[in-house]
Structure 1
Amino acid sequence: MSEVWVADNGDGTYRNPVLYADWSDPDIIRVGDDFYLTASSFNRVPGLPLLHSTDLVNWRIIGHALHRLPAGHATPRPGCGVWAPALRFHAGRFWICYPDPDHGIFLTTADDPAGPWSEPRLILPGRGLIDPCPLWDDDGRAYLVHAWARSRCGFNNRLTAYPMESDLTGPTGPGVLVVDGDAIPGCRTLEGPKWYRRDGWYWLFAPAGGVATGWQYALRSRRVFGPYEPRVVLAQAGTDVNGPHQGAWVDTPAGTDWFAHFQDLGAHGRVVHLQPMRWTADGWPEIGDHGAPVATHRKPAPGPADPVAPATGDTFEDGRPGPQWSWPANPGPGQVLPHPGAGLRLACRPGGDDLRRLPNVLGQRLPGPRLRAETGLRLDAPAGARAGLTVHGRTYAWIGLVNRPGGTYLTCRFAEAEGEAEQDAADPVAVPAGAGVRLAVTVTEPAVVRFAAEIGGERWECGPPFTATPGAWIGATLGLFATGPGGHADFDRFVVRPHR
């Protein structure tokens, strides 16, 4: 278990964010006493992560619903892939509707949220369709609402809905504009709708105002296709929680209501907050403390005796990375190699020097505001190969080993501008042939990165600190990589701890 960030205070209360990592655009459902969460994954593979909780505060990763992206994702395509999904439980099955803004809206289903999930099916083709959410009405009829991406279709700030087949395999009629954000005073970038039914009302919970600066609407209507009446139900107010919006309303077995949403924290991505929610006398939801985010609160349910957080450290059991890891594109065969020892063996594959363009960088989300990650490395490869530990987004830096014709060198490099060639952060240090090194990275607020290494009992500091930056719609990535004309790199246990 990672202890970098623990949201459970151990006294029946929690602190926000409940997930201090890039679990972007969260959607949550309850099935019995269990809660399940999925999130957008963009160009990460595997995508559509599934997390489980019994109290909305302590979460574990249990799998992924999507194991490959469509053809065309053999190399990283930042900002593409899987945008905001919706998770639902209906007719004894789990359903995820998710958008690929370049292709349309897809559906995958499963009997068990841990998988296996069905092969994705395109149910509503179209460029610019994003943020879908299905609704099954009391009479059994099905509907689907979605938003629009200006970057793909030239407009946004609108929500469109379709009547659907009961199994969501396709629409049964034309789309209907159910909410025109341009007609709401002050509204811009209305998107991310989640659709619900309560006490004779149809409810759309939808964010507006942009990722880092927005707010949350609730919209209600007596008719499924509207008209819908809007009200702002969550905003930053006097707190330091910028842009609190886009998430899920969920209830507990005890009958209390909660709202989970994200906050954009730059290199740390879109972290997840949990807010209490109640219904006012005039029938509207009130989220947080009179519409403002709370920092701490009593927990929704007792939950586990010991705090739980999504895994970050890894022993690489059976030589495989755990579910916290992902690739920035569809992995090719043999990127992870079998080997007789403990740890992880990565193949050194050619592809150039820019880590942002390589599909074989194995990464995970930054798991908190202050952390230290360590691993050991040996490089068994010809000249031209290199391997190491990196933090990367639109810019990046790394520490590791490079094999040159004259020997092996401990190296630390960075690329501070998008497209900029790498530069040395410190003079390389010769390493005895066959020797291993221990690599370390610390991250402190605000996303300040420092690299160090230990070789032969001596500590080596890597130049000045580097400030991490986010990627395209995702936070910075903490990663391991191996590149070159052949050979392999061996990483031992990956250890992640809080940094004091």
Structure 2
Amino acid sequence: MPWISDQGDGTFANPVLHADYSDPDVIRVGEDFYMTASSFSHIPGLPILHSKDLVNWKLINHAIPRMDLPGYELPQHGNGVWAPAIRYHAGKYWIFYGDPDVGIFMTTADDPAGEWSPLHLVQEGKGFIDPCPFWDDDGQAYLVHAYANSRAGIKHVLRMRRMSPDGAKLLDEGDLVFDGSGNHPTTEGPKLYKRNGYYYIFAPAGGVATGWQLILRSRSIFGPFEEKIVLHQGDLSINGPHQGGWVELASGESWFLHFQDKGAYGRIVHLQPVRWVDDWPLMGVDTNGDGIGEPVLRYPKPNVGREYPAVAPFTSDSFDAPAFGLQWQWQANPEPAWSSLSDAPGRLRLYAHPMPPSAKSLYQAPQLLLQKFPAEAFEAAATIDASGLAPGDRAGLIVFGYSYALIEIQKQTGGAWSLLYAEGNEETERTVWEAPLSSSEAVLRVTVKEGAICTFSCRTEGSTFLKIPVMPFSARESRWVGAKVGLFALRPGGTVNAGGYIDTDSFRVAAVTDDE
């Protein structure tokens, strides 16, 4: 089951989302809060989450249903949508993000839960990342961004540029307004705000897993900027803490959402109280007296005027809806021939297709249907009917990252069924264990425990779950993202006959039962 932050007693426990929502940014519009996050090359992309209290979040949309750029018929691990910024201006919602290989993109919507405009290329160029727009009181518009050293050969610096008020283009080269190479290496992820006559840039520095929150302020948008560290790990276990966004409540409270890099679990989302002292935002609680805040582990919930029920993004799926649940993402732009929710009503049908000729393993397979790890410990179980597979086809349940593990049903040439457990990585895959299977129908399950330690098991009709007799698998992150869990169906490359399919009417995510 997903992690629940709301403790039910007026407090919350960090993280507010124990799921991989990297580089979160947040806004308040009236009584509603909206968040977006990096999605890299996973499709659909640019998630939109909604909350009434900053603690309980629901995934309501994706701004990018399909990536209309060359190459997205294949996985583009680590590329694509980096560090978006979401804003509300002139009666509509705006998201800007950087694609390190293409440039700065923008999309808008009248309703964040509705259709977003096609992506517009604001500024072409390699290495532009982490853009944040800002509309000043006089109507002038600006954009601040960082650089990806891997593409631009530039690091640690932030650039401020003038922007057309419609957000369609940048008007000049702007100025470098901060260079952190001396005291604040890897300054990135800037978010631009204005309060009490000061312009503020909130930016993480020091690296994803080891850094701190830096605040820059100036009376002029082009600086010079004063600097102050306002949040760091200190003596606590919450490493980072990294990139995020500030929001002010109607009650006058201020809060900061940011991520923590948690290895295989990805970049999970934390919420920190913010108090203003001498026009500096001080985050978290200074637990060790060093003058810098540390992340809170448990804290009173934001004062939004009332209590709201505990919610979390969906995980389980019975496939009764006409469209995929928002928790699901493909590894590339999906093809209609990969799946159907209507060919067998009430079931998901995954068709077995070959991997691309260039693929060495499932790491390069685009047709994996995956979702984020939703908690530190959980079980994911899929009810699989593999009777529609053709000889040689394989399909099942996978835990995916730089290395992956899977449990699958395979149709043999003679018509028999086999159950296999395999492990792989970017270069290869090997079968670790294999046994005959008495039926083409089974429940395939993975149990994930603290530390992302995974064990796989299987149950056929009338039996209990039987653990696969192999060493537990340690899940791993992939490029900039956490491990994922989901389904696949594959046809061996070079075969003449058409591939078959599997049906599933249940993908269940629940608490660990320890019934193995």
Instruction: Give the TM bin, normalised by the shorter chain.
Output: over 0.9
Q: Is the 8 A contact 2:2 2:313 kept in 1?
A: no
Quick check: 1:393 aligned with 2:406? no
Aligned-residue offset at 1:383: 1.5
Residues 431, 303 of structure 1: alpha-carbon distance in 2 compared, 3 angstrom cutoff:
farther
Q: Is the 8 A contact 1:319 1:339 kept in 2?
A: no
Structure 2 counterpart of 1:349:
353
- Hey, what's the Cα distance between the residues in 1 that align with 2:271 and 2:57? 12
- Hey, what's the Cα distance between the residues in 2 that align with 1:372 and 1:302? 36
What amino acid maps onto 1:423 in structure 2? Answer: R
Structure 2 counterpart of 1:120:
119
Structure 1 counterpart of 2:298:
296
Aligned-residue offset at 1:340: 3.1
Q: Is the 8 A contact 2:53 2:308 kept in 1?
A: no
Residues 411, 302 of structure 1: alpha-carbon distance in 2 compared, 3 angstrom cutoff:
farther
Aligned-residue offset at 1:303: 5.8
Matched residue of 1:400: which SS? strand
Q: Is the 8 A contact 2:444 2:459 kept in 1?
A: yes
Aligned-residue offset at 1:427: 2.5
Alpha-carbon displacement from aligned partner over 1:329-365 (angstroms, at most 9, x marks no partner):
1112222223233221111111167221111100010
Matched residue of 2:151: which SS? helix
Aligned-residue offset at 1:121: 0.4
Structure 2 counterpart of 1:137:
136
Q: Is the 8 A contact 1:321 1:344 kept in 2?
A: no
Q: For structure 1, which segment, 4-13 or 27-36, has the greater mean C-alpha deviation from structure 2 after superposition? A: 4-13
Quick check: 1:491 aligned with 2:509? no
Gaps of 5+ in 2: 287-292, 492-497
Normalised by the length of structure 2, the TM-score is: 0.93
Structure 1 counterpart of 2:466:
460
Q: How does 1:214-233 map to 2 (within 5 A)?
A: 214-233=211-230
- Hey, what's the Cα distance between the residues in 2 that align with 1:112 and 1:450? 42
Structure 2 counterpart of 1:211:
208
- Hey, what's the Cα distance between the residues in 1 that align with 2:368 and 2:438? 24
Residues 40, 110 of structure 1: alpha-carbon distance in 2 compared, 3 angstrom cutoff:
same
Quick check: 1:441 aligned with 2:425? no
- Hey, what's the Cα distance between the residues in 2 that align with 1:425 and 1:316? 31
Q: Is the 8 A contact 1:27 1:38 kept in 2?
A: yes
What amino acid maps onto 2:87 in structure 1? Answer: R
Structure 2 counterpart of 1:480:
487
Aligned-residue offset at 1:186: 2.3
Alpha-carbon displacement from aligned partner over 1:149-170 (angstroms, at most 9, x marks no partner):
0111112111111101001111
Quick check: 1:317 aligned with 2:323? no
Matched residue of 1:273: which SS? strand
Structure 2 counterpart of 1:360:
367
Quick check: 1:378 aligned with 2:398? no
Counterpart of 1:5 (choices 3, 6, 11) is: 3
Matched residue of 1:151: which SS? helix
Alpha-carbon displacement from aligned partner over 1:277-298 (angstroms, at most 9, x marks no partner):
0001x22110000210000111
- Hey, what's the Cα distance between the residues in 1 that align with 2:351 and 2:116? 29
Residues 303, 266 of structure 1: alpha-carbon distance in 2 compared, 3 angstrom cutoff:
farther
- Hey, what's the Cα distance between the residues in 1 that align with 2:442 and 2:27? 45
Q: Is the 8 A contact 1:54 1:304 kept in 2?
A: no
- Hey, what's the Cα distance between the residues in 1 that align with 2:134 and 2:53? 25
Structure 1 counterpart of 2:189:
192
CA RMSD of aligned residues (A): 1.3
Structure 1 counterpart of 2:73:
74
Number of residue equivalences: 491
- Hey, what's the Cα distance between the residues in 2 that align with 1:120 and 1:428? 49
Structure 1 counterpart of 2:45:
47
Q: How does 1:17-56 map to 2 (within 5 A)?
A: 17-56=15-54
Q: Is the 8 A contact 1:320 1:344 kept in 2?
A: no
Alpha-carbon displacement from aligned partner over 1:409-446 (angstroms, at most 9, x marks no partner):
1111112x431x222232222334xx301111110010
Quick check: 1:414 aligned with 2:423? yes
Aligned-residue offset at 1:132: 0.3
- Hey, what's the Cα distance between the residues in 1 that align with 2:306 and 2:466? 43
- Hey, what's the Cα distance between the residues in 2 that align with 1:75 and 1:346? 18
What amino acid maps onto 1:445 in structure 2? Answer: E
- Hey, what's the Cα distance between the residues in 2 that align with 1:209 and 1:83? 18
Counterpart of 1:471 (choices 478, 488, 492) is: 478
What amino acid maps onto 2:97 in structure 1? Answer: Y
- Hey, what's the Cα distance between the residues in 2 that align with 1:40 and 1:46? 12
Structure 2 counterpart of 1:180:
179
Q: Is the 8 A contact 1:133 1:145 kept in 2?
A: yes
- Hey, what's the Cα distance between the residues in 1 that align with 2:22 and 2:252? 26
Alpha-carbon displacement from aligned partner over 1:442-498 (angstroms, at most 9, x marks no partner):
100100011100023333321221000000000001111111151111112111112
Q: Is the 8 A contact 1:335 1:360 kept in 2?
A: yes
Q: For structure 1, which segment, 153-162 or 265-274, has the greater mean C-alpha deviation from structure 2 after superposition? A: 153-162
Matched residue of 1:84: which SS? strand
Aligned-residue offset at 1:499: 1.6
Aligned-residue offset at 1:171: 1.6
The percent identity for this pair of structures is: 48
Alpha-carbon displacement from aligned partner over 1:276-321 (angstroms, at most 9, x marks no partner):
00001x2211000021000011100366543100111111123542
Structure 1 counterpart of 2:290:
none
